[in-house]
Amino acid sequence: MKNIRFGAVCAAAALAVAGIAWSGGAQAAEYVIKLSHVVSPQTPKGKAADIFAQLVNERLQGKVRVEVFPSSQLYDDNKVMEAMRLSRSKTVGLMAAPSLSKFVKFSGQLQAFDLPFLFDSIGDVHKLVDHPVADKMTDPLKSKGLRALGFWDNGMKVFSIKGPKPLMDVPDDFNGMKFRIQSSDVHSEMIKALGGTPQKLPFKEVYTALGQGVVDGQENAWSNVYSKKFHEVQDYITVSNHSYLGYLLVVSEQFWSNLPAEIRTELEKAVKEATMANRRFAAEADSGDRLKVEQAGFAKVVDMPVEKRKAWRQVTMSVEDKFRDEIGADLLKEIHQVLDN
Ligand code: LMR
């Protein structure tokens, strides 16, 4: 209850920033959507989830109620996808926005988003997700019981480390170091190419794993570093912007296809509005949360010189070759064409 109230406060604040009016209030409804995510409500995903919930709760009062469960309160990402796939309820639906890196079991194509140095900026990411080619990456999900509703941003990732110096020279600075990664095989190969040892761990375990030295470092976007206090247990952060952290908002296909068409249309409209707000929140967090980390004075933030970036790009080029078949050679070609235009 306390968390729902906290979520409502965050939602009202987020809506105000997004310029959308909200009147709030929980009501009984014909359909309930439980939206589960793993990050803090103050992050771009957390705020977008709250906005979506409040838009729906206001516009579809009595018909649909969305309840948001942040910070892995309900499920972690891998568990929520299984729960969504198994769920048979026609009135209570599960929704989540796991990171794109967590969909490998359901769409080999989505692994393209994890490739190091594929995107030079978030502008590049938007070129891809706003292009019809993105549908080819999400289409396989339907037959696995998941319906894709929208792509949400976090941002480009940076690398943090507990150690004597920032991660800069490859492979030397990675040698002998263990890095927490998400459940992505692309990330695993990337860490190995950089010279380090990867270890897959759920997001909720990262802070403790860093603090107890189970792993030496991790990669993430600024809002996650700041909101989960990773910078307090790390010595250096290298602004590598080496790959993208973004999300796919998904809902259980069974629940979705049972909803009346006019409700689906309203929900899709709310997703679009929340997506636009999410992009603004992500852009703000990218610079704002970096600044907060710098001001906190725990980990030292180090920018990456162009020639070092070139060296990282060079040593990780083999990763794309390794995943070309799983992603699909033709699809990968198309993705590059979209990005080059
Ligand atoms: C992570 O596991 O590092 C991220 O996927 C968490 C998130 O959802 O941003």
The finding on whether 154 has its CB within 6 A of some atom of ligand 1 is yes
Q: What is the pLDDT of residue 168?
A: 98
The finding on whether 113 has its CB within 6 A of some atom of ligand 1 is no
Distance 146 CA to ligand 1 centre (A): 19
Within a 10 A sphere around the Cβ of 38, how many other Cβ atoms?
27
- Give the residue extent of every domain in the chain: 2-100+145-153+247-284, 158-244+288-340
Cα separation of 27 and 56, whole Å?
Answer: 12
Closest ligand 1 atom to the C-alpha of 97? 8
Q: What's the half-sphere exposure (Cβ side, CA atoms, 13 Å) at 161?
A: 20
**Angle at Cα 66 formed by Cα 220 and Cα 254, nearest 5°?**
90
Task: Using alpha carbons, list the distances in angstroms from residue 117 to 45, 113, 222, 243.
Answer: 23, 10, 17, 6
Q: What is the pLDDT of residue 28?
A: 86
The finding on whether 184 has its CB within 6 A of some atom of ligand 1 is no
Specify the residue with its C-alpha closest to ligand 1, atom 6: 203
Round the average pLDDT of the chain to a whole number and report it: 93
Specify the residue with its C-alpha closest to ligand 1, atom 1: 203
Pairing of strands 158-161, 236-239: antiparallel
The finding on whether 220 has its CB within 6 A of some atom of ligand 1 is yes
76 within 8 A of 202, measured Cβ to Cβ: yes
Distance 109 CA to ligand 1 centre (A): 19
Specify the residue with its C-alpha closest to ligand 1, atom 5: 99
The finding on whether 39 has its CB within 6 A of some atom of ligand 1 is yes
Residue with tokens 């306390």: 2
Distance 57 CA to ligand 1 centre (A): 26
The finding on whether 100 has its CB within 6 A of some atom of ligand 1 is no
The finding on whether 99 has its CB within 6 A of some atom of ligand 1 is yes
Specify the residue with its C-alpha closest to ligand 1, atom 3: 203
Task: Using alpha carbons, list the distances in angstroms from residue 149 to 145, 152, 251, 266, 328.
Answer: 13, 10, 7, 12, 23
Q: What is the pLDDT of residue 240?
A: 98
3-state secondary structure 64-103: EEEEEECCCCCCCHHHHHHHHHHCCCCCEEEEECCEHHHC
Mean pLDDT, rounded, for 222-230: 98
The finding on whether 38 has its CB within 6 A of some atom of ligand 1 is yes
The finding on whether 224 has its CB within 6 A of some atom of ligand 1 is yes
Reported as type and span, the H/E element at residue 24 is none
Cα separation of 167 and 190, whole Å?
Answer: 14
Residue 18 is encoded by which pair of tokens?
């997004």
Task: Using alpha carbons, list the distances in angstroms from residue 319 to 94, 188, 298, 315.
Answer: 34, 10, 33, 9
Amino acid at 319: V
Q: What is the pLDDT of residues 154-184, one digit of tens each?
A: 999 999 999 999 999 999 999 999 999 999 9
Q: What is the pLDDT of residue 78?
A: 86
Within a 10 A sphere around the Cβ of 85, how many other Cβ atoms?
17
Top-confidence residue, 3 or 53: 53
CATH superfamily assigned to domain 2-100+145-153+247-284: Bacterial extracellular solute-binding protein, family 7 (3.40.190.170)
CATH no. for 158-244+288-340: 3.40.190.170
Q: What is the pLDDT of residues 5-50, one digit of tens each?
A: 444 444 445 444 444 444 444 568 999 999 999 999 999 999 999 9
The finding on whether 182 has its CB within 6 A of some atom of ligand 1 is yes
Cα separation of 202 and 289, whole Å?
Answer: 22
